[in-house]
Structures are given as C-alpha cells and as structure tokens.
Amino acid sequence: MMNLFVLQLLNGVQLGVLLFLIAAGLTLVFGIMDVVNLAHGVLYMVGAYFVATFAALTGSFWWGLVLMLPAAVAVGLILEYVVIRRLYTRSHLDQVLATFGLVMIANETVKIVWGVSPLSVPLPEILSGSVPLMDPLRYPVYRIAIIVAGLAVAAGLFVTINHTRIGMLLRAGATNRAMVSALGIDIGKLFAIVFTLGAVLACLAGALVAPILSVDTGMGESVLILTFVVVVIGGIGSIKGAFLGAILVAVVDTLGGVFGPILLRAVLDPSAAGQAGRMLAPMLVYILMAAILFARPAGLFGGRA
Amino acid sequence: MTKTKLLASTLLSLAAVPALAQDVPPAAQDDVLKIGLMYTLSGPAAALGEHARDGFMLAAEQMGDIGGMETEIIVVDDEQRPDLAADKARELVQRENVDFVVGPIFSNILVAIHQPVTETGTILISTNAGTSNFAGADCHPNFFVTSYQNDQNHEVMGAYAQQQGYENVFLMAPNYQAGKDSLAGFKHSYTGGIAGEVFTELGQLDFSSELAQIAAFQPDALFTFMPGGMGVNLVKQYDQAGLSSIPFLSAFTVDETTLPATQDAALGLLGGQNWAPDLDNEANAAFVEAFIEKYDYVPGTYAMQAYDAAQLIQSAVSKLDGDLTDRDALRAALKEADFDSPRGDFSFGVNNYPVQDFYLVEAVKRDDGRYATSIREKIFDDYVDTYADQCEMQ
C-alpha cells in the first residue's frame, strides 16, 4: 500500500506540473487582462498537434519540440491580435461567448487539417523505458522528465516575475491595471506579451504530454475545467498560487482516484466501487476548492476577491 | 384532374408499402445483386470500419460479378450512431432495395439495425458484432454472423489464464456494457483468484493510476479489454511503466488496427482471436498477400471476417444460379457456408453463428517490418458459443 502511495504521489506531481503550465497562462490572462479565456485549452491541444506534426516531419521529438515554440508564439500573437484584443473592454459574458466560439472553430479546424483519427508521437529514445524505484516498482523516465521540465519552467517563471522589469510590470498589472497604464506603460503591448507567454506555456504542456497520450481533438476541454479550479484555488493572477494550487489539485485527484475505490471496495461490489470512486475523485477537488475559498475567499495568494 | 392523379399515386405508393413486409423482398426479383455495406468509417474507431470495408471490397473485386450476377455495392457510414444507423439501414432496404446488408462493427449498431433489415426478409450478415441475444433466444433465420459471439475472445483468454495456472489476475475494462461482458466472459473460463478489478471511464487516456495499482499488486497477469485509442495509450504506458514482466492478456486491444500506433511497445503482448495473418493455410496466404498488395497494410480480423461475408454471399448465390426468390433455398444455401475461409474450419451453428477454432495470438514484427498478430497456440477447437442452446431455430 505504501508503494502505491508513493507511485500515486509521483503521478500526482506529474499531473500537477502540467496543470501548472496551463494554469500559469490562464491566471495571468485572467488576472492582468481581466479576460475569461475558455479557449485556453485549445492552445494545449494545438501544442500537442504541432509537436506531432513537426516530430513526424523531422523524425525527431526534439526538433518537434523546438519548432513548436515559434509556432506557438505565432498562434498566440495572431489570436491576441485577431480576437482577444477586441474583448478587453467587453463584459465577461461577451468574452465567454467569443472564446467558446473559438473553441468550436478550433476543434473543427483541427479535424479538417489533421483528420479525426488520434495522432501518436513517438517517445524520444533516450527518455523511453523506466527506472527502478523501490523494488519491484519502476517509474517511466519520461514522466520524471515532465516533472523536471515543469519544475524548471516554474523556476524560470518565478525568477522572471520577481526579479525582472517585465515581471515587475506583470505584478503591477495584476494588482492595479489602471495605475500601470497611467504611469505611461504601453498596456496594449504588455497584454500581447502576457497572452503570448500564456499561449506558449499551454502549448508546451500539450507538447510534453503528447508522447504519453494520443493527440486528439477533445483533449483541451478535458483539462480546462481542472485548470480553472487551480486558478481559483491559487488566487487569480498569482503564479505562486497557480503552482501550489496545481500540485494540490493534482495530488488530491490522483490519490482520491485510487484510494477512494480501494476503501469503497470494502463495502461495495467492484463495479459499483469503481464507479463511485471515479465520481468521488473529482468531487474531492471541488470540496477542496470550497474549503479553501471558505477560509480565503480570494484564493491562496489572491490579491482581490 | 391533377388532384386525382396525385391521390391515385399516393394510394398506389401506400399499397406498395405492405409488400415490404412479405418474405420475398422486391430486391430479389430483379437481376442485379445489390449489397449494402454499413460500417463505422468516421470518428476514433474509423480504422475498424476501414479494415472491414477493404476486406469486403477486395473479395468483391476478385470475384467480379458475384455469383454470376451484375453486382452493385453501396457503402454507408453509420458514424457509430445507432439512431442514424437504423435510418440508413431502412433506406438501404426500402429505397435502395438491397439483397444483403453487411456490417456493422459495433454491437449497439447491430441491435439498432437488426429489426429494420431482417423484418423485410432481407439477409443481414454481421461481420463483427455478435451479441448474446441474437445468438440465443432472439436468433433469426435472416441473420448470419461471420465473426464470433462477443464473449468468445474473452473466454479464450480466461481459458489460457486457467491453463497457465495463474492464481492472481488483475482485470481492467472500461465501465460500459461491453466492458462488463468482457470481464464476465473471462471469468466464465477462469476460476482462479482476482488481484483487482478496475472499471475505467470510457475514453480514458491516462492510465497512470491503474498502472500504479498493477505495479503495487504485482499480479500473475493482467487481463484487459481496451478497444481503439484507449488500448493504444494503455499499451504504450504499460511499456513505459516497465510492467512488461507481467503478462498482458487482452481481447480487441492488441490487433492490426492498433499495432501501427503502438509498434514496438506491443511486442509480446497476448490476445485471443479466431485467426491471425500468419495462420497456415492456402486460402489465408492468398488473402493476406492480395490484401497487402492492394491496400499496403496488414489486414486484421475485421477485414478477414468481411472477406468471408463476400465469399458466403458468392457461395449461396452461385448455388441458386442467381435466383433469390426462393428464400428458404437461399437461407439453406447460406447455412451450408460452402467456401474456403482464411481461418480454416468454418461452419454455422444452429443459431447462424460460426463454429470455429480460437487461438492465442502474440504481437510480432514481421520480416517486412510491419506489425501483426501471430498464432501461438490453439485454445479451442470447433468452439460453439454458450448461447446456442437457447436458440429455437431449426
């Protein structure tokens, strides 16, 4: 049982860093630009499709990953310029409608361009296989690589936000947008940077996860809701909050998914226990969210409620 | 005057409708042999339908005029939606006047189109789905199956686990009817202990939690039923998690439709099937070679079973010299199953489901670099499904 706990903890952290990469962009866009972007999951999906395409073209996962980055920047800039820019002054309802429309357009476009069959991305040779953990348990090298890459990006973001000029502007923008603008900062440019940064992070998450999942059109939506929970728990606009929230949500979700059914199996038949456990795990996440919001209405690190 | 004409034509067309319910459908009275193929050709499971369609079309092309009759084949996509499939099936029998409907892949589609097709006297040949109800109490003289009864592939794996003396098998399937039937089928022929029984969400893609449980329990073997994209992900992740030392027994998970995506990750994994591309007989060698020649991929069981459906139609139509009006004679000719199946022994049981051999198969890489399943050993000989006793058809 201890073995299982350790394995699941690792799985939780791995899901957590992925959630963080997606949530970081979402919380910045929401916190600084005050835009509710339902299409954020689309960027995650597009990142996965990009890496699948480029890896197939070049025959190497690493080239796929490298080429994905400029493509992600381009998608971010274009989306910001064509759609998001027009939503800054609109109400949240308009933003939800527009970005929801974007989700449907993007999914159909992906189907037209890449077809309906899921794509698969081969694992890079050096990261395939598994390492011994505690005998007889083994853990896939690639999932460890995801954890390392995610933590590195988190550290980089942390330094950027706390110790650079652009980071200072981001923090200021999240706290008081009007004042930043009044001090003579080009808010339009700042917004474009923020949105593109978020887009690249989400694309990166999609690209990292592509070799372990199959690349499919619905993959963005499945992760978006959990990401919003992370943003709300962490506090809107807070990168630190997004990180803690993501790890917390992911660990609760994965541990609950396994230990829920195991505990329930003592009192129910396996089929019913499996079903109830499946429902219990996502419920735990929302119970956690409710509890945190009860204690801290603005989230863990939220500046304003 | 025009109103009278309109009324008259309406009455005439209404009068024509009951003719459909008679035993001899109008399709049988012309000289053209019309066949409707209904497969899932879009969405995540499209590959299965493509295998089946290509298998049938290959046979049709080799035969030219099937049974000496001018042949017309209509291909429709059921989109894996039962409501749509029922409508399209009605269209095939009532508007297109087809003589045979061939398909589908999925059991829920079969249940939806069975009545609309068979009640008009048209023959329905399922080349994959073989539900228990139509094998047992609801068996029908106009319904034939060239695949298997759904439970059988799972029973093969259960029998293999039993034979290996496993005492602790971990079971995993998606949480829907076919998943539950699968585990029930496995347990029908396996009486050893169960290490764990997990039902996953249908469409789940990340199996890290389930694999962690398997790693922690260290069972003698895993038995799973994960069709389509779920299976692709599970196989890849199973390999990545370093669980390959635990035998991987499966049904409908490791086959020619998923192997192109899983490739090396699936090598050595086991499944239960009624055939494999390397089954040693003349008819099979010719079929597999012609198929790869034409379509440039290795056929799966879906293709082989559809190929046999075409051979079945050809054998019956030739016997009757193209006269399909005597329906009893047609059904009798079909039931004789007088053709050489690539799977070797093939005959129909009392319920029009096949009586055939089942094998343990293993995923291998062929000499030409393609991936395929390969026969390891025969598990059941001339195996009759367990529902045939409940069929009261003669």
What average pLDDT does this structure show over A172-183?
83
B261 in contact with A at a CB cutoff of 8 Å? yes
Pairing outcome for strands B143-145 and B100-102: unpaired
Q: Which domain holds residue A146?
A: 9-122+140-295
Number of domains in chain B: 2
Token pair recorded at residue A121:
């991305």
Measure the CA–CA gap between A112 and B376, rounded to whole angstroms.
Answer: 41
Token pair recorded at residue B113:
């189109």
Per CB distance under 8 Å, which residues of A are interface residues toward B? 1, 3-4, 7-8, 11, 14-15, 116-118, 120, 123, 128-130, 136-143, 212-214, 216, 219, 254, 257-258, 261, 270-271, 274-275, 278
Do B45 and B103 belong to one domain? yes
pLDDT reported for residue B262: 83
Measure the CA–CA gap between B128 and A152, rounded to whole angstroms.
Answer: 50
Do B161 and B219 belong to one domain? yes
pLDDT reported for residue B33: 93
Q: Which residue of B has its CA nearest to A119?
A: B261
| Closest C-alpha to A71, from A89, A91, A53 | A53
Higher pLDDT, B94 or A266: B94
CA atoms within 13 A on the CB side of A11: 26
Do B283 and B144 belong to one domain? yes
Whether B66 contacts B60, CB under 8 Å: yes
Report the SS3 class of residue A39. Answer: coil
- What is the percent of chain B where pLDDT is above 70? 94
Q: Which residues of A touch B242 (CB under 8 A)?
A: 129-130, 138-140
Of the residues B216, B240, B273, which one is the last residue of a structural domain?
B273
| Closest C-alpha to A278, from A253, A241, A247, A249 | A253
| Closest C-alpha to B237, from A11, A114, A227 | A11
Q: Which residues of A touch B205 (CB under 8 A)?
A: 213-214, 216, 219
Confidence at B21, pLDDT banded by 50, 70, 90: very low
| Residue B181 placed within a domain | yes
Number of domains in chain A: 1
Measure the CA–CA gap between B47 and A150, rounded to whole angstroms.
Answer: 35
Max Cα distance, chain A (Å): 66
Higher pLDDT, A103 or A302: A103
Sheet of strand B100-102: strand arrangement: B70-77, B32-39, B100-102, B123-126, B143-145
- Residue A262, min C-alpha distance to chain B (Å): 9
| Closest C-alpha to B78, from B108, B119, B33, B118 | B108
What average pLDDT does this structure show over B316-344?
93
Measure the CA–CA gap between B46 and B85, rounded to whole angstroms.
Answer: 15
Cα-based torsion angle of the residue sequence A186, A191, A196, A198 in order, rounded to the nearest 10 degrees? 140
Whether A126 contacts A111, CB under 8 Å: no
| Residue B371 placed within a domain | no
Q: Which residue of A has its CA nearest to B242?
A: A130
CA distances from A287 to A233, A251, B202, B279 (A): 11, 14, 25, 56
Measure the CA–CA gap between A230 and A28, rounded to whole angstroms.
Answer: 13
- How many other β-carbons are positioned within 10 Å of the β-carbon of residue B382? 13
- Residue B175, min C-alpha distance to chain A (Å): 8
What average pLDDT does this structure show over B91-115?
94
Measure the CA–CA gap between A42 and A222, rounded to whole angstroms.
Answer: 11
Residues 6+ apart with CB under 8 A from B344: B279, B281, B284, B356, B357
What CATH number does residue B212 fall under?
3.40.50.2300
Q: Is the pLDDT of residue A152 over 50?
A: yes
Measured in whole angstroms, the distance separating CA A33 from the mean position of its chain's CA atoms is: 18
Do B26 and B127 belong to one domain? yes
Of the residues B229, B254, B273, which one is the last residue of a structural domain?
B273
| Residue A182 placed within a domain | yes
Confidence at A132, pLDDT banded by 50, 70, 90: confident
Burial class (CB in 10 A: 0-12, 13-18, 19+), B289: exposed
Chain B residues 179-198 with a CB less than 8 Å from chain A: 180, 197-198
pLDDT reported for residue B1: 45
What CATH number does residue A225 fall under?
1.10.3470
Do B136 and B24 belong to one domain? yes
Confidence at A206, pLDDT banded by 50, 70, 90: very high
Do B32 and B59 belong to one domain? yes
Measure the CA–CA gap between A233 and A236, rounded to whole angstroms.
Answer: 8
| Residue A135 placed within a domain | no
Q: Which residue of A has its CA nearest to B79?
A: A116
A270 vs B213: CB contact, 8 Å cut-off? no
CA distances from A48 to A42, A205, B167, B345 (A): 10, 8, 41, 47
pLDDT in tens, B233-288: 899 889 888 888 899 999 999 999 989 888 888 999 999 999 999 999 999 999 99
Least confident of A138-142, A241-245, A284-288, B17-21: B17-21
Whether B181 contacts B161, CB under 8 Å: no
| Residue A62 placed within a domain | yes
Residue A249: in which H helix or E strand, if any? helix A239-264
| Residue B363 placed within a domain | no
pLDDT reported for residue B43: 72
| Residue A132 placed within a domain | no
Whether A65 contacts A51, CB under 8 Å: yes
What average pLDDT does this structure show over B130-152?
94
Confidence at B20, pLDDT banded by 50, 70, 90: very low
Do B24 and B103 belong to one domain? yes
Q: Is the pLDDT of residue A42 over 70?
A: yes
Q: Is the pLDDT of residue B30 over 90?
A: no
Do B49 and B107 belong to one domain? yes
| Residue B392 placed within a domain | no
| Residue A19 placed within a domain | yes
Of the residues B224, B243, B273, which one is the last residue of a structural domain?
B273
B240 vs A261: CB contact, 8 Å cut-off? no
pLDDT reported for residue B233: 86
pLDDT reported for residue B17: 45
Higher pLDDT, A66 or B45: A66
Q: Which domain holds residue B94?
A: 19-148+279-352
Q: Is the pLDDT of residue A217 over 60?
A: yes
Q: Which residues of B touch A135 (CB under 8 A)?
A: none
Alpha helices, DSSP H only, in chain B? Answer: 2-16, 46-63, 82-94, 107-118, 132-135, 152-164, 177-189, 208-217, 229-240, 259-262, 282-295, 301-319, 327-336
Confidence at B225, pLDDT banded by 50, 70, 90: very high
| Residue A271 placed within a domain | yes
Measure the CA–CA gap between B260 and A137, rounded to whole angstroms.
Answer: 29
B197 vs A274: CB contact, 8 Å cut-off? yes
Q: Is the pLDDT of residue A172 over 90?
A: no
Do B143 and B286 belong to one domain? yes
Do B260 and B175 belong to one domain? yes
B237 vs A140: CB contact, 8 Å cut-off? yes
Mean pLDDT score across all residues of chain A: 87
Q: Is the pLDDT of residue A209 over 70?
A: yes
Token pair recorded at residue B389:
């006793």
Measure the CA–CA gap between A98 and A38, rounded to whole angstroms.
Answer: 9
Mean pLDDT score across all residues of chain B: 90
Do B225 and B298 belong to one domain? no
Whether A207 contacts A68, CB under 8 Å: yes
| Residue A110 placed within a domain | yes
Backbone φ and ψ for B124, nearest 5 degrees, come out as -110, 125
Whether B44 contacts B257, CB under 8 Å: no
Which of A212, A221, A251, A279 is best to mutate for the B interface (most B CBs within 10 A)? Answer: A212
- Residue B191, min C-alpha distance to chain A (Å): 17
| Residue B338 placed within a domain | yes
| Closest C-alpha to A220, from A209, A234, A229 | A209
Do B157 and B264 belong to one domain? yes
| Residue A129 placed within a domain | no
CA atoms within 13 A on the CB side of A172: 16
Measure the CA–CA gap between A219 and A107, rounded to whole angstroms.
Answer: 10
- Residue B259, min C-alpha distance to chain A (Å): 12
Least confident of A168-182, B9-23, B46-60, B378-392: B9-23
| Radius of gyration, CA atoms only, chain A | 20
Measure the CA–CA gap between A18 and A48, rounded to whole angstroms.
Answer: 13
